[in-house]
A and B are shown apart, each in its own frame.
Chain A
Amino acid sequence: MSTDQTTSMRRKPRLGAVLWLAFLIFAFAFPYLVDRPKFWIPNIGIKSIWLGVVAMSLVFLNRYVGLLSLAQMTIAGISAYGAGFVIVKMDGPIMMAIPIGLLVGTLAGFLIALVAVRTKAIYFLMITLAIGQVVYSFASQSIEVTNARRGLAPIKREDVGFMHFTELHIFYYVALIVAIGCYVLCRYIAATSFGLALQGIKDSPERMSALGYNVNRYRIAAMTFSSFIASVGGIIMVFDRAQVDPDVVALPATLDILIVAVVGGIGSLSGVFFGALVLTLLDNFSQNLTERYMTLTGLVFIAVLLFAPAGLAGIGKQLSALFARLKGPTIQDAAEADPPQTSPAATAEDAQETQDELSKGSQR
């Protein structure tokens, strides 16, 4: 496979697409491939999906804005609490709970962004972590809103019209389609002029600011969008767990998302689902091997950071680079070393826009 990849540049993307398609087919066939659906679908399948969606929101921010946020699980948890509040405390219907949950989560993300965006890099990481802890301590102590440690339960799925959400298979497929929708939305946003501006800000905030972009406003907008994606993950989570309690926004849950993103590949929007699958499998089956599940997870995490910084999604590329190096340097190596580019059309558009901005600036 790997030699195949190196021999022809033109066949590479097709191979990637084939792998993608294989994974997609696997995901769709998943409920029928497993021996105990009652265990596999919620504990591995749906959990991987929501972990992946929340981690995707983290990867989006990291890849396109250059911000590593540890508040994504917090935001997902807030949207889960929002939906749970409507169902448990207000006895509202599921169709009202979902939009309210999404709204609450996105709004919370916007407010977090207002504070966090003032800081950069490692400071941003720390402040999002600390804000997450504020939410956790609030969730575990506020009896009126979150039922404190007991949490909000039960949050049952309901049938809505012809959608039989109570059916585990249906819920799985809906979650899967929603997750694919999130992926497509992230890719779409990244390719719009807004997304290109974000990438410009990631590469050189000073230059973008000199071009007249309000850098902080773009960052806030990007964080709000990623909060929406995280909120979607939170909604899937709340119906998967059938309850929401402070553990959802606790430190270990936050770290889980980070592990998923890093193991899957911190630069890859689709890689997160591999990472999520690895984590859920470790979570459920490592007891057979060892009692020290966290140690094992930590070792996997560090190993990925040390030896495969691009995560599982980057391993194919790493292997082919290794093979190429063994075979001796070729021209293709140089081409391969280039980071993945956006489509030429989009780049041209971006250049055009930059030109426009420039002329606007000179007219002033």
Chain B
Amino acid sequence: MSKHEFQYSKRCKAGEMTQFLLITFNGLTLGAVYFLVASGLTLIFGLMRVITMAHGTSYLLGGYIGYVVVRETGNWILGALAASVGVGLLGLLIHQLLIRKFQDDDMRVALITLGLSLIGTDLMLAAFGGTATQVAIPKALQIGVELPLLGTYPLIRILLLLIAIGVGFGLWFFVNKTRYGAVVRAGVDDSQMTAATGINIKVVFAAIFAFGSALAGFAGVAGGSLFPLMPGQDGTYLLFSLVVVIAGGMGSIAGAAIGAGLVGLVSQFSLVYFPTYALVFTFALMVIVLAVRPQGLMGKATV
């Protein structure tokens, strides 16, 4: 991923401005993938106060499902759908079997999901091998578009950015403007009181967990169309989504968007200007945010 990005940006030496814009766009599209992964994580955490360490595994599994379905059918949308539904159902199953009982014990949930991620990583390695694969994108989308000041830019990246923005607004609308969103928000603020008003909070929990997992699965297909899918990526995406969620503030969709954008930009810019220590910079961003604002950029001060 990183090498490819680097060469890509190196190729265009049409001027400082162009390069700057190009890195910015690359950073934003990378951030779009991070946002798709992290929004599920932040939603689950915001409502249930548990963090699922198997989120990166959901991402990679979604990517692999998408890869197989697209290879067999040639339909990208079908692949994305299959990945979302498949990973969402698996998330539901995991929630019902392993997490529901320990809802109040966040540490134990974190550890159990960590164990699940160990198993998932190993089984995926057995099923798909160690070589990198990528979800095939339709021929019609494998073109570049002319952008002012920037020159040619891959269409698929712009589409991905739009998809992430669309998902972001969809989530925001759902959480802030619909009745179901109001239930979710009530559950975030006080799950016991919400249950007392006659809402079956357990169903809400299960649905959000499944939905968050489905988002990760979808992100796997979206991200897997741009970046390679291979063992180790699950850990990478888990860590990056943790960084995004921590920096942005847990439970906040807007925070996840800002965090993802920042992480994407910082990692791309440092990759170009300080290639050796790009990862260090990205994580240092989180450390700095936490040192200044422990609850994250958009987090509520109570946590």
Contacts and interface: CB of A to CB of B under 8 A. Distances in A.
A213 interface: no
Contact of B284 (A129, A134, A258): A134
Contacts of A147: none
Interface in B101-123: 106-108, 110-112, 114-119, 121-123
B279 A302 contact: no
A239 to B, nearest CB: 28
Contacts of A295: 118-119, 122-123
B158 interface: no
Contacts of A251: 235, 239
Contacts of A126: 51, 242, 246
B107 A292 contact: no
Interface string A93-135: 0000000000000000000000100110111011101110110
A134 B126 CA distance: 29
Contacts of B301: none
Given A122-B107, A292-B126, A115 B291 contact: yes
Nearest to A140: B279
- Looking at chain B's contact residues, the main secondary structure is helix
Interface string A140-171: 01100000000000000000000000000000
A133 B240 CA distance: 10
A interface majority secondary structure: helix
Contacts of A65: none
Nearest to A294: B122
Given A115-B291, A292-B122, A292-B126, A138 B111 contact: no
Interface residues of B, number: 37
A316 B239 CA distance: 37
A239 B242 CA distance: 34
Contacts, number: 105
Given A131-B283, A305-B111, A122 B246 contact: no
B290 A119 contact: yes
A137 interface: yes
Given A68-B107, A130-B243, A142 B276 contact: yes
A309 interface: yes
A137 B280 contact: yes
B85 interface: no
Contacts of B181: none
A98 B122 CA distance: 36
A295 B235 CA distance: 16
B44 to A, nearest CB: 12
Interface string B7-34: 0000000000000000000000000000
Interface of A: 68, 115, 118-119, 121-123, 125-127, 129-131, 133-134, 137-138, 141-142, 251, 255, 258, 262, 291-295, 297-299, 301-302, 305-306, 309
